């Protein structure tokens, strides 16, 4: 096929149009049409659906860069060869990889190609009448042959009965053709169109949206400008002037943990008391996990918390070289936290401290650990370093880790000097400098984000669910009534599977016409020979299972 | 106190379900004594379960009487099973309700509670079906419930505890109840699909015997399976969407490829494939049923595998 395609394209390119082509080749438009037919076939969409399901799996089992870059690095270090292979395939960022995008874009192209013609057909048939009554009604899945004494006006009555049962009715000379369930196809189309709208909504939000995180210590404020974020990601069409100018001041953060025997240490309450300022208006608001702040088109979420230590570092002259809260990063569920206190402007030598904070310290003789996430016995453990002042290079430096090049650790009797401080205590260093641990504070991680088009996404999902319900629960059905002298024929056809009760429908129509069956009920019905099995049940076996799917 | 009664009722329900399982197993086993019926006649099973046309095969009168007695025994065991599972359901219901009272919230905040609540939905569905003529799902349903409920009280059990702040939301009710009911329907539908595969294979090989002969035609089992899947699919869509709304409130993004979210999507896509497969020539019937079972496997992996093996945002204290 590929060669044919190339040939056909060459033919197109080199030969003037109108000349006879070699037989057995396809012209480019035909090839395209062939490809298009293949792509929009149900079989292809099935394959693409499977591919989508399969393709999504590795991202849930391997660490992903956007979520856990550290674990990706660990994986690459421990499995260099396999990791490199995975990396080349994009398996560490599956959902942004080209092949994953190819799958879902092809799926959506296939979907669009499938539904656009169907929309045309649906719109064309919107006011169409049911098809003509077939000649031989006894071939239909359900068929009743009845007798009447009053054939006159029977079709009029049948028309009324069927209209009352929400059928669209077409009157013919000797018969009536009726159909209902047109909403099924509408639901089907609405569902598929909604998926396309959903994708557009997601794309809109991704292009114009942004998301940034920032750690804020109790008592501090955050202003919504680019420079204040610790981490910031935005879509291609985002402009910095989109950022709504607001400030959030964290007055206090309350964290409570389970103290009882069950799930000891589990979080129970997280509540941040904030003062927000937007357009000059100041409000006091509480921020909780499921209760974000809404400021303009941005929302502020509480996504994490931890401990900070409020310290003052003085150099040997007694001058304050550093003062303020230092954010420490929690390492485990009991908030054993680590960080670095840096005093680069201490003189004659700069100072730095490796800090280990234990909110509920136990076992401090063996290095110490934390036994509970709340600060019940807070202790700060410090190692101190000193070194000649460093030239200010302007290069960014990680505030959470200490680069010890050019630094010497303070030691005593050949062992590293180490101090354990309770709040209020001071650690005096051999060179005359000191560090005071005033108290601990909590910090919260705030996520500021804006996702335009959110209403479109959720609106599309709502429409999709509604369309799905229509397309799955509405079952088109055709019913015919034919009068031939005293003989009346009723027939029915379900146009979808999974529906029962056609025989009941016909019986009800017959009943509405005041006709009694002349043939045994259900003769010719396939349903009546199936088993319901329970003799004790008062419900007829066949009627039994009709509605359980909707219960 | 309520917690004590809840635990007692849960354990009792496992024991009673076990007895129900034994009764349903006896129902299937005793059906083995039924004479195998010829394949064409096997499709024509009367409403009392007796094979129509069996007498036309020229069976001696004595055999026919034996047949009747065996049939009676099958039915007796079946009714015993139904009675026992009803009693088990009452215990189970008590257990779940008392759990909710003890915790002073809806009882589906961890794996133990979710399993017991979802299984309660499954048994409830089965009982509604059984009293409307579909008792034949008894053995697979009871098997599933005994395994699930048994693991819940032994392995997954955690004591009553309040919620973590992440679950303090009205979506805790909407999202989880949607997932639990959809999950229950997927499970019942999946069990029906398994029976459909068994029965249609037997029909194809013209060896419909034992309890399989008492099941309805493959087409009708398939129809029942389809109804459950068709009911569950929009509900599952809704549950995933409700989860996305909740995620937007709680985490500031409606979709973040968390492992649980990913597998919910995978499950959704596989069930979407099932619905498409049923409308595709060459995929109807057996293949579609297999797709449905793959969907069920994804559902279970999402629940068991992801909760226990993979860390993500859906991991909560105490499993």
* Tokens (6 digits) for A384: 């101190």
* Chain A: residue whose CA lies nearest to B230: A472
Total domains in the fold of chain B = 2
CA dihedral in degrees (B53, B59, B64, B70; nearest 10)? -80
Domain match, A423 and A320 both: yes
Interface check A258 vs B, CB under 8 A: yes
Does residue A498 belong to the interface with chain B, where contact is any CB pair within 8 Å? Answer: yes
The pLDDT > 90 percentage for chain A reads 53
Reported as a pLDDT band with limits 50, 70 and 90, residue A547 is very low
To which residue do tokens 């939905």 refer? Answer: B121
* B252/A303 Cβ within 8 A: yes
Taking only the tens place, the pLDDT of each residue in B92-116 is 999 999 999 999 999 988 889 999 9
What are the angstrom distances between the C-alpha of B263 and each of A375, A403, B214, B307? 38, 41, 37, 11
CA nearest B219: which of B187, B196, B243?
B196
Does A6 have pLDDT greater than 90? no
Helix (H) or strand (E) holding A19: none
Distance CA B85, CA B83 (A): 6
- Domain check: are B3 and B141 in the same one? yes
* CA atoms of B149 and A148, how far apart (whole Å): 59
Least Cα distance to A285 among A275, A296, A294, A277 occurs for A275
- Same domain, yes or no, for B140 and B262? no
Average the pLDDT over A227-251 and give the result. Answer: 91
Q: Does B47 sit within 8 Å of A541, measured CB to CB? A: yes
Chain A residues whose beta carbon lies within 8 Å of the beta carbon of residue B162: 258, 268
Of B46, B125, B166, the CB nearest to A531: B46
* Residue with the two structure tokens 């954010």: A327
Residue A547 lies in a domain: no
Contact B165, B249 (CB under 8 A): no
For the segment B211-232, the average pLDDT, to the nearest whole number, is 91
Confidence of residue A22 (pLDDT cuts 50, 70, 90): low
Query: Is the predicted pLDDT of residue B40 greater than 70, yes or no?
Result: no
Q: Note whether A50 contacts B: Cβ–Cβ < 8 A.
A: yes
Burial readout A264-284 (b: 16 or more C-beta within 10 A, e: otherwise): ebbbbebbbebebbbeeeeee
**A114 — pLDDT class (breaks 50, 70, 90):** confident
Answer whether B49 sits within 8 Å of A533, measured CB to CB: yes
| pLDDT of B319 strictly over 90 | no
Chosen domain end from B162, B179, B213: B162
Residue B66 reports pLDDT greater than 80: no
How far apart CA A513 and CA A492 sit, in angstroms, is 16
pLDDT in tens, B117-135: 999 999 999 999 998 888 9
| Chain B interface includes A534 (CB < 8 A) | yes
- Look at residue B181 and tell me whether its pLDDT is greater than 70: yes
Distance from CA of A299 to the nearest CA of B (A): 7
Query: Cβ contact (<8 Å) for A529 and B52?
Result: yes
| B117, B107 Cβ separation under 8 angstroms | yes
Top-confidence residue, B37 or B173: B173
Task: Write down which residue in B162, B187, B208 finishes a domain.
Answer: B162
Is A70 inside a domain boundary?
A: yes
User: For residues B284-295, b (16+ Cβ closer than 10 Å) or e, as one string?
Assistant: ebbebbebbbbb
A115 and A154 in a single domain? The answer is no
Pairwise CB contact (< 8 Å): B262 & A291: no
**Distance in Å, alpha carbon of A266 to nearest chain B alpha carbon:** 6
Average pLDDT on A104-109 reads 93
Question: Quick check: A199 contacting B, CB < 8 Å?
Answer: no
Out of A24-33, A183-192, A235-244, A280-289, which region has the weakest mean confidence (pLDDT)?
A24-33
Nearest to B161 among A64, A263, A449 (CB): A263
CB contact under 8 A, A465 and B234: yes
Specify whether B4 is located in the same domain as B147.
yes
> In chain A, what residues touch B306 (CB-CB under 8 Å)?
60
Q: Note the pLDDT of residue A458.
A: 94
Q: How many CB pairs under 8 A join A and B?
A: 216
Q: Which of B168, B215, B216 sits opposite A290 (nearest CB)?
A: B168
Q: B12 vs chain A: nearest CA distance in angstroms?
A: 24
Residue B225 confidence (pLDDT): 93
Least confident among A20-29, A92-101, A225-234, A314-323 = A20-29
Please give the Cα distance from A377 to A370 (Å, whole number): 9
Please choose, from the candidates B253, B297, B249, B304, the residue with its C-alpha nearest in 3D space to the C-alpha of residue B271: B297
For residue B283, the chain A residue with the least C-alpha distance is A43
Residue A8's pLDDT band (boundaries 50, 70, 90)? very low
pLDDT of residue A263: 81
For residue B173, pLDDT beyond 60: yes
Distance to chain B for A261, nearest Cα, Å: 10
Q: What is the mean pLDDT of residues B284-306?
A: 93
Nearest chain A residue to B298 by CA: give it.
Answer: A53
Looking at the structure, tell me whether residues A57 and A101 fall in a common domain: yes
Checking A88-91 for CB contacts under 8 A at 24+ apart, the result is A91/A58, A91/A59, A91/A62
The answer to whether the CB of A372 falls within 8 A of the CB of A392 is no
Which among A184, A206, A532 is the top mutation candidate for probing chain B, defined by the most B β-carbons within 10 Å of its own β-carbon?
A: A532
Q: Is A70 on the interface with B (CB under 8 A)?
A: no
Over the stretch A463-514, which tens digit does the pLDDT of each residue have?
Answer: 999 999 999 988 889 999 998 888 889 999 988 765 677 888 888 888 888 8
Nearest to A290 among B48, B250, B272 (CB): B250
A105 and A155 fall within a common domain? no
Residue among A419, A240, A400, A409 at smallest CA distance from A330: A400
A48 has pLDDT over 50: yes
Omega within 30 of 0 (cis) for the link into A348: yes
Is A239's Cβ below 8 Å from some Cβ in B?
A: no
- Band of pLDDT at residue B65, cut at 50, 70 and 90: low
Which pLDDT score, from 0 to 100, does residue B165 have?
A: 85
- Among candidate residues B132, B162, B192, the one where a domain is terminated: B162
Residue A90: domain span? 2-17+25-123
In a domain, A365, yes or no: yes
pLDDT at B48 > cutoff 50: no
Q: Give the nearest chain A residue to B135 (CA atoms).
A: A534
**pLDDT for the residue A149:** 81
- What pLDDT, on the 0 to 100 scale, is given for residue A314? 94
By Cβ distance, the residue of B46, B168, B266 closest to A57 is B266
Domain-terminating residue out of A88, A123, A158: A123
8 Å CB contact of B227 and A549: yes
Same domain membership, residue B177 and residue B150: no
CA distance B164 to A265: 11
* Judgement on whether residues B154 and B5 belong to the same structural domain of the protein: yes
Query: Are residues A363 and A479 located together in one domain of the fold?
Result: no
Backbone angles phi and psi of B105, in degrees to 5 = -165, 180
- Interface check for A234 against chain B (CB to CB < 8 A): the answer is no
How many domains does chain A fold into? Answer: 3
Sign of CA pseudo-dihedral B86, B88, B94, B97: negative
CB contact under 8 Å between B166 and A289, yes or no, is yes
CA distance A288 to chain B (A): 8
CB contact under 8 A, B269 and A61: no
Q: What is the 3-state secondary structure (H, E, C) of chain B?
A: CHHHHHHHHHHHHHHHHHHHHHHHHHHHHHHCCCCCCCHHHHCCECCCCCECCCHHHCCCHHHHHHHHHHHHHHHHHHHHHHHHHHHHHHHHHHHHHHHHHHHCCCCCCCHHHHHHHHHHHHHHHHHHHHCCCCHHHHHHHHHHHHHHHHHHHHHHCCCCCCCCHHHCCCHHHHHHHHHHHHHHHHHHHHHHHHHHHHHHHHHHCCCCCCHHHHCCCHHHHHHHHHHHHHHHHHHHHHHHHHHHHHHHHHHCCCCCCCHHHHHHHHHHHHHHHHHHHHCCCCCCCHHHHHHHHHHHHHHHHHHHHHHHHCCCCCCCCCC
| B50 pLDDT tier (thresholds 50, 70, 90) | very low
Look at residue A462 and tell me if it is in a domain.
no
Residue A419 covered by a domain: yes
Judgement on whether residues A360 and A489 belong to the same structural domain of the protein = no
Residue B87's domain comprises 1-162
Q: Helix or strand or coil: residue A493? A: strand
A385 near A407, Cβ under 8 Å?
yes
Place of tokens 């395994």: B147
Instruction: Tell me if B257 and A530 make a contact (CB, 8 A cut-off).
Output: no
**Which candidate from B160, B165, B279 shows the least CB-CB separation from A288?**
B165
Query: Per the CB < 8 Å rule, is A46 touching B298?
Result: no
DSSP summary character for residue A516: -
The verdict on a CB contact (< 8 Å) between A497 and B223 is yes
Q: Among A86-100, B228-242, B304-318, whose mean pLDDT is lowest?
A: B304-318
Q: What is the mean pLDDT of chain B?
A: 86
| Cross-chain residue pair A262–B161, CB shorter than 8 Å | yes
The pLDDT value given to residue B297: 97
Please report the pLDDT score of residue A4 as a whole number.
Answer: 39
Name the nearest CA neighbour of A113 among A173, A164, A186, A38: A38
- State the average pLDDT over residues A354-382: 91
Residue A418 has pLDDT above 70, yes or no: yes
| Residues in chain A within 8 Å Cβ distance of B134 | 544-545, 548
pLDDT digits (tens, 9 = 90+) for B240-281: 999 999 999 888 889 988 889 999 999 999 999 999 998 777
Residue in B165, B215, B259 closest to A289 by CB? B165
pLDDT confidence bin for A538, thresholds 50/70/90: very low
Share of chain B above pLDDT 90, in %: 58
Using DSSP's 3-state secondary structure scheme, residue A71 falls into: helix
Q: How confident is the model at residue A23 (pLDDT cuts 50, 70, 90)?
A: low
For A119-209, where are the E strands, in sequence order? 142-147, 168-171, 175-180
Which of A524, A541, A545 is closest to A141 using CA atoms? A524
Burial of A516 (0-12, 13-18, 19+ CB in 10 A): exposed
- Looking at residue A38, its pLDDT comes to 82
Distance CA B126, CA B191 (A): 11
d(CA A464, CA A243): 32
Check pLDDT > 60 for residue A546: no
Of A52, A469, A548, the CB nearest to B269: A52
More confident residue, A80 or A535: A80
Question: If you average pLDDT over residues B220-232, what whole number do you get?
Answer: 92
Whether A107 and A165 map to the same domain: the answer is: no
Judged by CB atoms closer than 8 Å, whether chains meet at B125 and A551 is answered as: yes
First-last CA distance in chain A: 51
Name, of A94-98, A264-268, A360-364, the range with top average pLDDT. A94-98
Classify residue A491: in a domain, yes or no. Answer: yes
Searching chain A, which residue's CA lies closest to the CA of residue B313?
A: A67
User: A518 falls in which pLDDT band (50, 70, 90)?
Assistant: low
Continuous H helices in A278-369: none
Q: Which residues contact A81 (CB under 8 A, 6 or more apart)?
A: none
Q: Are residues A414 and A500 in the same domain?
A: no
C-alpha–C-alpha distance, residues B98 and B102, integer Å: 6
Q: Taking the mean position of all CA atoms in its chain, how far away is CA A4?
A: 43
Q: Do B259 and A541 touch (CB under 8 A)?
A: no
The confidence score (pLDDT) of residue A535 equals: 34
Interacting residues of B74 by C-beta distance below 8 A, sequence separation 6+? B27, B30, B31, B34, B49, B211, B214
- If asked whether residues A345 and A425 sit together in one domain, one would say yes
List the single best residue of B111, B234, B261 to mutate versus A (max A Cβ within 10 A): B234
Name which residue leads in pLDDT, B38 or A315.
A315
> Is the model's pLDDT at B54 over the cut of 60?
no
Mean pLDDT of chain A: 85
Confidence at residue A529, expressed as pLDDT on a 0 to 100 scale: 33
Could you tell me the pTM of the whole model?
0.84
Q: In terms of domains, do A316 and A421 share one?
A: yes
Q: Contact A400/A425 with Cβ under 8 angstroms?
A: no
Whole-number pLDDT of residue A86 = 93
Contact assignment for A537 to B132 by CB distance below 8 Å: yes
- In a domain, residue A334? The reply is yes
């Amino acid at each position: 096929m590929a060669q044919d395609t190339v040939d056909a394209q060459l033919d197109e390119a080199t030969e003037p149009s109108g000349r006879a082509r070699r037989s057995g080749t396809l012209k480019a438009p035909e090839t395209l049409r062939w490809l298009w037919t293949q792509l929009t076939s149900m079989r292809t969409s099935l394959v693409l659906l499977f591919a989508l399901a399969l393709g999504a799996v590795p991202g849930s089992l391997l660490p992903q860069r956007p979520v856990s870059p550290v674990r990706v690095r660990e994986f690459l270090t421990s499995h260099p060869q396999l990791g490199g292979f995975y990396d080349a395939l994009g398996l560490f960022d599956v959902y942004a990889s080209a092949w994953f995008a190819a799958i879902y874009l092809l799926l959506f192209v296939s979907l669009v190609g499938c539904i656009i013609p169907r929309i045309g057909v649906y719109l064309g048939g919107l006011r169409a009448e049911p098809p003509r009554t077939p000649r031989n009604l006894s071939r239909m899945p359900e068929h009743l042959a009845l007798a009447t004494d009053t054939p006159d006006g029977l079709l009029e009555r049948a028309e009324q009965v069927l209209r009352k049962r929400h059928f669209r009715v077409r009157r013919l000379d000797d018969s009536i053709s009726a159909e209902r369930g047109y909403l099924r196809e509408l639901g089907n189309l609405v569902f598929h169109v909604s998926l396309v709208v959903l994708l557009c909504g997601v794309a809109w939000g991704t292009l114009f949206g942004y998301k940034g995180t920032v750690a804020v210590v109790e008592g501090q404020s955050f202003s919504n400008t680019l420079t204040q974020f610790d981490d910031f990601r935005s879509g291609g069409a985002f402009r910095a002037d989109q950022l709504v100018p607001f400030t959030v001041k964290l007055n206090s953060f309350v964290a409570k943990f389970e103290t009882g025997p069950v799930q000891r240490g589990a979080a129970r309450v997280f509540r941040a008391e904030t003062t927000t300022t937007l357009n000059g208006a100041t409000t006091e608001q509480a921020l909780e996990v499921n209760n974000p702040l809404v400021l303009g088109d941005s929302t502020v979420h509480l996504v994490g918390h931890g401990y900070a230590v409020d310290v003052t570092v003085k150099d040997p002259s007694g001058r304050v070289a550093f003062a303020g809260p230092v954010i420490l990063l929690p390492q485990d569920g009991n908030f054993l936290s680590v960080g670095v206190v840096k005093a680069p402007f201490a003189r004659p030598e700069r100072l730095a401290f490796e800090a280990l904070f234990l909110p509920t310290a136990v076992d401090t003789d063996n290095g110490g650990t934390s036994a509970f996430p709340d600060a019940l016995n807070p202790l700060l453990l410090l190692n101190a370093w000193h070194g000649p002042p460093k030239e200010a290079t302007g290069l960014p430096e990680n505030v959470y880790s200490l680069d010890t090049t050019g630094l010497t650790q303070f030691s005593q009797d050949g062992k590293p000097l180490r101090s354990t401080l309770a709040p209020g205590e001071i650690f005096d260093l051999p060179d005359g400098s000191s560090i005071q641990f005033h108290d601990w504070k909590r910090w919260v991680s705030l996520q500021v984000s804006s996702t335009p088009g959110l209403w479109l996404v959720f609106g599309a999902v709502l429409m999709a669910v509604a369309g799905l319900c229509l397309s799955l629960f509405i079952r088109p059905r055709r019913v015919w009534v034919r009068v031939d002298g005293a003989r009346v024929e009723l027939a029915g056809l379900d146009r979808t599977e999974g529906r029962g009760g056609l025989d009941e429908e016909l019986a009800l129509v017959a009943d509405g016409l005041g006709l009694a069956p002349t043939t045994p009920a259900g003769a010719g019905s396939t349903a009546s020979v199936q088993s319901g099995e329970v003799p004790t049940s008062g419900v007829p076996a066949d009627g039994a299972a009709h509605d359980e799917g909707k219960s | 106190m309520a917690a004590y009664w809840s635990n007692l009722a849960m354990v009792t329900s496992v024991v009673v379900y076990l007895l129900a399982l034994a009764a349903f197993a006896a129902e299937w086993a005793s059906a083995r004594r039924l004479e195998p019926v010829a394949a064409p006649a096997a499709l024509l099973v009367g409403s009392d379960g007796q094979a129509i046309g069996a007498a036309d095969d020229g069976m001696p009168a004595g055999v026919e009487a034996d047949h009747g007695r065996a049939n009676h025994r099958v039915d007796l065991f079946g009714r015993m099973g139904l009675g026992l599972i009803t009693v088990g359901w009452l215990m189970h219901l008590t257990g779940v309700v008392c759990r909710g009272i003890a915790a002073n919230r809806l009882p589906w905040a961890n794996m133990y509670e979710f399993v017991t609540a979802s299984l309660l939905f499954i048994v409830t569905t089965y009982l509604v079906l059984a009293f409307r003529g579909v008792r034949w799902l008894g053995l697979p349903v009871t098997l599933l419930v005994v395994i699930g409920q048994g693991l819940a009280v032994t392995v997954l059990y955690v004591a009553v505890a309040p919620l973590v702040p992440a679950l303090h939301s009205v979506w805790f009710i909407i999202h989880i109840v949607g997932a639990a009911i959809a999950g229950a329907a997927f499970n019942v539908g999946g069990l029906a699909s398994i029976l459909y595969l068994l029965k249609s294979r037997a029909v194809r090989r013209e060896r419909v015997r034992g309890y399989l002969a008492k099941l309805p035609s493959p087409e009708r089992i398939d129809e029942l399976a389809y109804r459950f899947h068709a009911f569950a699919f929009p509900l599952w869509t809704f549950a995933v969407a409700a989860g996305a709304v909740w995620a937007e409130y709680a985490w500031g993004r409606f979709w973040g490829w968390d492992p649980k979210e990913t597998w919910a999507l995978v499950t959704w896509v596989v069930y979407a494939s099932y619905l498409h497969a049923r409308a595709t020539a060459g995929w109807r019937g057996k293949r579609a049923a297999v797709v449905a079972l793959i969907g069920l496997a994804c559902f279970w992996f999402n629940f068991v595998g992801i909760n226990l093996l993979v860390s993500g945002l859906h991991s909560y204290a105490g499993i």
